[in-house]
Chain A
Amino acid sequence: MYSFSSLAEFAILRDSIKRELVQTCEEDALRLFVAINEGVNNAIFHGNKEDNTKKVQIIIERSPEDVQIIIRDEGDGFIKTKKTAGMELWDENGRGLDLIGLYVDSCWWNTKGNEITLVKKINPDYCKPFKTCTSL
């Protein structure tokens, strides 16, 4: 799990997150990172409204079938509206959610709207086999 309070703190963690994604599934790593980065930007700027007393958490979990990523902030929650549902070609803002949608297979928010779950299915043709933890 990654936990941070500001963009500066997240910037320090980006390479670690990328490395974990490469270890999880190299072929999809950068595309998953695109989705995570957009989700985190939303959490910092729109969720926590850049309040450094509030945390953002990222949880990355791998199962045999997919990678599940949870991004949680401590803001008041996000409600998807028609305006945020789709980007217009010449819009300068508002592409983040669409980029997330383009690079994961499914995503949803919790009821409050301060936690997004992203799911990317694993392609067994090019991802390493899932290794379960084994006891020593």
Chain B
Amino acid sequence: MEITTNISEKEVIITLAGSMYVEDAAVLREKLMGFIESGHKQFIINLHNVDYIDSSGLGVLVAVQKKVLPKEGHVTLTGAKGVVKELFELTRLNKVFRMQA
């Protein structure tokens, strides 16, 4: 999985590409938690080019959302499609995140 990061004053934009398996989720968790420790709390995660995400990846995104919500931050997910979008809907995680096309 490719993880590309763009940081502005207001938010961190993470663009993911490929399949997110358990080993990729561990890398993403470390990266995102590092940003939170540095004071970032607004995250936009682009899933447009993600064709698969497993339960560990979903868990990392939930963990980040739980960390930033009390700080008035938020995780916004953009571009989810196909099975990835379906996974968020079936697990009702589309209620946990802001989902944008």
Interface residues of A (CB under 8 A from B): 7, 11, 14, 30-31, 33-34, 37-38, 41, 45, 87, 89-96, 98-99, 102
Bound CA span A124–B83, Å: 21
Closest to B90 in A: A102
- Whether a CB of chain A sits under 8 angstroms from the CB of B59 is yes
Task: Report chain A residues within 8 Å CB of B59.
Answer: 91-93, 95
- Given A11-B23, A89-B92, A38–B54 Cβ distance below 8 Å? yes
Interface range for B = 20 to 34
Bound CA span A96–B83, Å: 15
Bound CA span A38–B52, Å: 12
- CB of A92 within 8 A of CB of B91, answer no
**Is chain B's interface secondary structure helix, strand, loop, or mixed overall?**
helix
- CB of B62 within 8 A of CB of A7, answer no
- CB of B21 within 8 A of CB of A96, answer no
Q: State the Cβ distance, A60 to closest chain B Cβ, in Å.
A: 18
- CB of A92 within 8 A of CB of B22, answer no
Closest to A98 in B: B91
Bound CA span A94–B96, Å: 16
Bound CA span A11–B54, Å: 13
A-B contact pairs, 19 of them (CB 8 A): A7-B22, A7-B23, A11-B23, A30-B52, A33-B52, A34-B52, A34-B54, A37-B54, A89-B92, A89-B95, A89-B96, A90-B62, A90-B66, A90-B96, A92-B63, A92-B66, A95-B59, A99-B87, A102-B91
Interface residues of B (CB under 8 A from A): 19, 21-23, 51-52, 54-56, 58-60, 62-63, 66, 82-83, 87, 90-93, 95-96
Closest to B56 in A: A41
Q: State the Cβ distance, B95 to closest chain A Cβ, in Å.
A: 7
Task: Report chain B residues within 8 Å CB of A14.
Answer: 19, 21
Bound CA span A60–B51, Å: 22
- Given A11-B21, A34-B83, A87-B91, A41–B62 Cβ distance below 8 Å? no
Q: State the Cβ distance, A9 to closest chain B Cβ, in Å.
A: 12
- CB of A95 within 8 A of CB of B83, answer no
Task: Report chain A residues within 8 Å CB of B19.
Answer: 14
Q: 8 closest A-B pairs (Cβ-Cβ)?
A: A95-B55, A92-B59, A96-B55, A92-B63, A30-B83, A102-B90, A92-B62, A37-B54
